[in-house]
């Protein structure tokens, strides 16, 4: 049985005041014990959030970490080891905003994924197609290539300690959610692709759906057999809405 997981990606949102308010809302939520919950603040706010959530069941992750494990001369970056030192357990790798806007390639992401694991973090690998790719019937080809890149470079065992998030780019921040069946179809293909290499790894890995998940559509999405939870953007900035999504994953 895979344990459900709900992760909140705060993206480039938050001030000291708004982050403190959001944390206060989160710690006051009555959360089901059956769901793993993680939040991903900006790098600036990781320390504050980790401190405030210490002793709660909510863990902290980073939205990004460098492709090298050690410290060194790399202006503007944080290393995965530093992220661990600040209290993080997870790191996002390959979010579409970083692939598209920051130009991160599969090759760079392979290094980031490996460096994260070598530092003791669990990477959440984000994959997904653009609207153009979906309309051209290329969804599975695109997602398949993003996964294959890790498998070819690091081997299937890299997914023993990892999470995968399917986030169709056209559904991110647009209010357009993939239908539960559309999401399930891609999730099933992802699992099948992993199963070709190792059935046990494929069965064990958690596959989250991301893209305009809200309290109103979470239960239906999470009810699908290969959807093990969600990676939530906008709706994770509201503690009550996020709490309702987490409860939907626990049912």
Q: Which residues bind ligand 13P (CB under 6 A)?
A: 9, 95, 167, 172-173, 210-213, 231-235
| Minimum CB distance to ligand 13P smaller for 81 or for 210 | 210
CA–CA distance, 43 with 162 (Å, rounded to integer): 21
> CB 7 → ligand 13P: shortest distance, Å?
8
DSSP secondary structure code for residue 127 in this structure: E
User: How buried is residue 135: exposed, middle or buried, by Cβ count under 10 Å (0-12/13-18/19+)?
Assistant: exposed
CA–CA distance, 28 with 165 (Å, rounded to integer): 27
CA angle 51, 164, 159 (to 5 degrees): 95
Per DSSP, the three-state class of 138 is: coil
> CB 148 → ligand 13P: shortest distance, Å?
22
| Minimum CB distance to ligand 13P smaller for 69 or for 146 | 146
CA–CA distance, 25 with 242 (Å, rounded to integer): 10
Active site residues: 95, 167
| Minimum CB distance to ligand 13P smaller for 68 or for 90 | 90
> CB 169 → ligand 13P: shortest distance, Å?
9
């Amino acid at each position: 049985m895979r344990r459900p997981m709900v992760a909140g990606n705060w993206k480039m949102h938050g001030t000291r005041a708004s982050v403190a308010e959001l944390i206060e809302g989160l710690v006051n939520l009555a959360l089901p014990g059956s769901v793993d919950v993680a939040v991903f603040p900006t790098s600036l706010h990781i320390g504050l959030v980790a401190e405030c959530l210490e002793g709660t069941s909510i863990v902290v992750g980073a939205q990004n970490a460098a492709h090298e494990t050690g410290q060194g001369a790399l202006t503007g970056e944080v290393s995965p080891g530093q992220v661990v030192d600040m209290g993080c357990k997870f790191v996002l790798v390959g979010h579409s905003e970083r692939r598209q806007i920051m130009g991160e390639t599969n090759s760079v992401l392979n290094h980031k994924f490996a460096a994260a694991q070598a530092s003791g973090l669990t990477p959440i690998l984000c994959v997904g197609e653009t609207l153009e790719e979906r309309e051209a019937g290329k969804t599975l080809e695109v997602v398949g290539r993003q996964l294959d890149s890790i498998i070819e470079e690091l081997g299937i065992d890299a997914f023993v300690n990892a999470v995968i998030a399917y986030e169709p780019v056209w559904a991110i921040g647009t209010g357009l959610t993939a239908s539960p069946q559309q999401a399930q179809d891609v999730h099933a293909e992802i699992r099948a692709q992993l199963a070709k290499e190792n059935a046990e790894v494929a069965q064990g890995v958690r596959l989250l759906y991301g893209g305009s998940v809200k309290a109103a559509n979470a239960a239906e999405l999470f009810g699908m057999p290969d959807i093990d939870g969600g990676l939530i953007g906008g709706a994770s900035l509201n503690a009550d809405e996020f709490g309702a999504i987490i409860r939907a994953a626990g049912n």
